[in-house]
Amino acid sequence: MLALAATVALGACAVGPDFSRPPEPQVEQFVNGAPPAATLSAAGKAQAFRADAAVRDDWWTLFGCRAINMTVDEALTGNATLAAAQATLLRSEHDLRAGAGVFLPQADAQFSASRQKFSPLRAGVDLAPSIFNLFTLSATVSYALDIWGGERRAVEALAAQVDAQRYALAGAYLTLAANVVNTMIARAAYRDEIAATQETVALVDQQIAITNAQVKAGTSAYAALLTLENERATLQASVPVLAQKDAQAADLLALLSGQFPSEWQAQPVSLADITLPAGLPQTVPSSLVRRRPDILQAEAALHVASAGIGVATAALFPNLTLSASGGFDNMALHGLLGKEGQVWSVGAGLTAPLFQGGTLWYRRKAALAAFDEASALYRQTVLAAFAQVADTLRALEHDAAALDAQTRAVEAAAQALSLLKTNYAAGTIGYLDILIADRQYHTARIAWLEASAQRLQHTVAFYAALGGGAGDVR
C-alpha cells in the first residue's frame, strides 16, 4: 500500500511554477558607442582581444610571475573566508540529503517498561485494584502522500540552495585571487616607486650641494637653495607614505593567506617581474550570464524563490498521511513476543486547512513577492556585471593611451638628458642642468610606473569581470 501511494504521489503534478532559466540578454556589445580597438598597444606591449582566448580558471598565471603564483596558491589553501564558504556548501548539501528523506516512509521503534496500579472502578466495575508490570514493544510506519508536490518543491528549493552556495564558493575563489594579484601588483609598484624616489632624492642632494657652493660664491640666490631643500623634504616625506602602503599590502596578503602578519613572509616582486597578458578573451555579452558566479548565484536564488511558491501553494490543500503500527504488550518480559499480546493498527489521516486567519493565503502572497524580489535582484546583478565589463574595457583602452603618453614623456626626458650630457661634455652647460634634467626623467619614470601598474590591475579586473573561467558547472 505504501509503495502504491508513493507511486501515485510522485506521479502527481506539483503545484506552483516550474522554474526556467532567465533568457540571455539580447545585447550586441558591452560598451556604449564604438567598442575598444581589437589591439591596444603601449610601451611596446600590445593586448589583443581574441575569440580563441579562453577565460582560464588559473588566469593569474598569464601574468608570468612566480611570486604571484605562489602567493595565490597560499591564499587558496589558507584563506579562512574560503574555508567558511566551503563549509557552507557542505552544510547545504547535507541539508539537501536530509530534506530528501521525506520521500521515504518514516519508521520508528519504541520499547517501554512500566509498573502500574489499575483500578477497575474507573470502568464501573466493583473489583479490587491490581498492580502489574507492563512491557511494550512497538513499531510505527507513516508516509505522507505528497499529492500537491509541496515536499518536492521544498527539496527543489534545497537543491537550488546548494547551487547558490556552489556559485558563492566560486565567486569567493575569484574574488580572493583577484585581490591577491591586485595587491601583489600594488606592492611591486610601491617598491619600484620607492626606489625611483630615493634615486631622485640623491639627485636633489647633488643639486643642493652645487647650489650651496654657488650661494657661497655669490653666483646664486639663497632662495634657490631653500627651494631645493623644500623639494627634497617633500620627496623624502613621500617615501614613508609609500613604505606604509607597502606594509599594509603585505599585511593584507597575510590576512588573505590565513596567516598572522608576523609569520607571513612577503615575496619580493617588481613590476619588471610581471608580464602583461597579450591575448585577452573576446567574449560575447550573451555568454556572460552563464559564466559569472554572482549571476549564477542570483539565478539559483531565483530558483529557490520559485520553489517557495510551490511550497506555499501546496500548504493550502489537504494532506493525506498513511500509517501503520504493530507491537506486543505483555505483563512479563519473557512472554513479550507471545501472540496473546500482539496488537496492530492501519489507518489513514486527512488534514485540511479550514481557517488559519489568512496565514496560509498571505504566506503564498509573500512567496510571490519574494520571487519578484529575487527576479529584480537577478536583473540588477546582470546589469552590474555588464557595467563592470564595460568599465574594464574602457579602462584598458584609456590605460593604453595614458601609458603610451607616459612612455613618450619618459623617452623625451631621457633624450633631453642625453643631449644635455653631450653639451656638458662639450663644456657648453653646467652640471646643474644635467641634475635638473635627470630629476625630470625620474619624475616621468615614477608616473610611468603608476600607469603601468594601473594597466596591470585593470587587466586583473577584466578577468574578474568575465567570471574568471568559473563557467556553468551544472
Q: Which amino acid is at 162?
A: V
% of the chain surpassing 90 pLDDT: 63
Residue-wise pLDDT tens digits, 15-63: 989 999 999 998 888 998 888 888 889 988 999 998 888 888 899 999 9
Does the CA dihedral 426-432-437-439 come out positive or negative?
positive
Question: Does residue 37 or residue 11 have the better pLDDT?
Answer: 37
Look at residue 84 in the predicted model and tell me its pLDDT.
95
Among 309, 349, 305, 303, CA closest to 325? 349
Confidence of residue 68 (pLDDT cuts 50, 70, 90): very high
Q: pLDDT band for position 473 (50/70/90)?
A: very low
The pLDDT tens digits for 303-331 are 999 999 999 999 999 999 999 999 988 88
* pLDDT value of residue 244: 96
Q: Where are the domains of the chain?
A: 2-106+147-329+359-465
The superfamily (CATH) of domain 2-106+147-329+359-465 is: Outer membrane efflux proteins (OEP) (1.20.1600.10)
> Does residue 474 register a pLDDT over 50?
no
% of the chain surpassing 70 pLDDT: 96
3-class DSSP state for residue 115?
Answer: strand
How far is C-alpha 282 from the chain's CA centre?
A: 23
- Work out the average pLDDT over 67-92: 95
Find where cell 509541496 sits.
150
336, pLDDT greater than 70: yes
Q: Mean pLDDT, to the nearest integer, of 434-456? A: 91
Task: Reply yes or no on whether the pLDDT at 241 is more than 50.
Answer: yes
pLDDT for the residue 99:
93
The CA–CA distances, whole Å, from 14 to 61, 154, 297, 369, 457 equal: 48, 11, 24, 20, 50
**Mean pLDDT along residues 333-343:** 85
Which of 159, 168, 163, 179 has the alpha carbon at shortest distance from 85? 168
| Greatest mean pLDDT among 257-261, 420-424, 433-437 | 257-261
Q: Residue 101 above 80 pLDDT? A: yes
Model pLDDT, residue 420: 87
Distance CA 351, CA 413 (A): 88
Check residue 471 and give its pLDDT: 46
Of 184 and 14, the one with more pLDDT: 184
Residue 419 has pLDDT above 80, yes or no: yes
Q: Inform me whether the pLDDT recorded for 264 exceeds 50.
A: yes
CA distances from 314 to 100, 151, 317, 356 (A): 17, 9, 6, 15
In this predicted structure, what is the pLDDT of residue 76? 94
Examine the pLDDT at 1 and tell me if it is beyond 50: no
Q: Is-contact 364 313, C-beta < 8 A? A: yes
